[in-house]
Amino acid sequence: VFSKIFSHEALESYLPKIQLVIKDTLRAWSSDPEPVNVYHEAQKLTFRMAIRVLLGFRIPDEELGRLFEVYQQFVENVFSLPVDLPFSGYRRGIRARETLQKGLEKAIQEKLQNTQGKDYADALDMLIESGKEHGKELTMQELKDGTLELIFAAYATTASASTSLIMQLLKHPRVLEKLREELRSKGILHNGCICEGSLRLDNISGLQYLDCVIKEVLRLFTPISGGYRTVLQTFELDGFQIPKGWSVMYSIRDTHDTAPVFKDVDVFDPDRFGQGRSEDKDGRFHYLPFGGGVRTCLGKHLAKLFLKALAIELASTSRFELATRTFPRITLVPVVHPVDGLKVKFFGLDSNQNEILTGTDAMLGATV
């Protein structure tokens, strides 16, 4: 069912809605006279994308904001000691989940009652329909659990990668300009505007340098450290016997840092994935930001599409500058993100690429 949710056809139908959510968000960032906390706002953006696009909920903005705050409290307490005491993280997480599920149940019921005006099948539609195809009407609890799982999958890791993308574009203006050149050469960007109807899935897939940039962001700043697997059959690795039934953790970051195929591993270099070098093509499992094998992340194509759509909008319709003297330190837990959230001032651009200054004519932030 979930593979159908992330199929090529499904991604094609999601794309216009993803673009709309990103455009609205960047417009709001550009109209804010104060610097934006990118990581926090990226969390809001990915949450909104999951609610509006994946699930097709028509929740008013004010209510959506309240639901986001509850969801954050839930996420912050997911990894808590299971001690059910007043004021414990576990108790706060349970309460947040209960409040969240009440809000989701209301949204699901409204969605089931209002089927008019739909121009695409979202993930929740497919989940409901697949249940019927298999002769099983999904219960409300199953729908709430599936909904929460989809939001969780689309939230933290994509927000982390989005923040890393913006930070690297700030650090490497030549990469940003090279992205713009590719968009112009492919007929997507003209006179500072994205050409009408140019952003289709096949067009985005043909942007080779953009693909390299996203791959390099995910190599150098993989959102999560690794994953777990259960040993199905006793095997030997480097002289050590790993028994059947044991849990094994694999490290994505250590793999990317030590894989012999990557040259100058600490350098942000999108060209390493270009046709001339193709460093990720040498050997198996040297590059695995989404895991590897049969249990690789099902949502990886949606995540990459979202990041590409964000990069295109950033390169086409925004100018942005670091609002602190230096770039922040990066922390690795719970996912990779800047410790201060990355403070950035965004400036919108009109059709002639002229700055639309908001709040003040003074240039806020450091020049990069």
Residues tagged in the binding site annotation: 297
Which residues line the annotated binding site for heme? Answer: 297
The backbone region for 182, taken as left when phi is positive above 0, alpha when psi lies in -120 to 50, beta otherwise, is: alpha
Rg (CA), the chain: 22
Q: What's the DSSP call for residue 292?
A: -
Query: Distance between CA atoms of 341 and 180, rounded to whole angstroms?
Result: 26
Q: Which long-range contacts (CB under 8 A, 24 or more apart) does 143-149 make?
A: 143/108, 144/101, 144/104, 144/105, 144/108, 147/55, 147/104, 147/108, 148/97, 148/100, 148/101, 148/104
Helices (H), 114-172: 123-133, 140-171
Q: What is the SS3 string spanning 248-273?
A: EEEEHHHHHHHCCCCCCCCCCCHHHH
Cβ atoms 44, 361 nearer than 8 A: no
Residues whose CB is less than 8 angstroms from the CB of residue 330 and which lie 6 or more positions away in sequence, other chains included: 221, 336, 337, 338, 339
Please give the torsion angle defined by the CA atoms of residues 354, 358, 362 and 367, in that order, rounded to the nearest 10 degrees.
-60
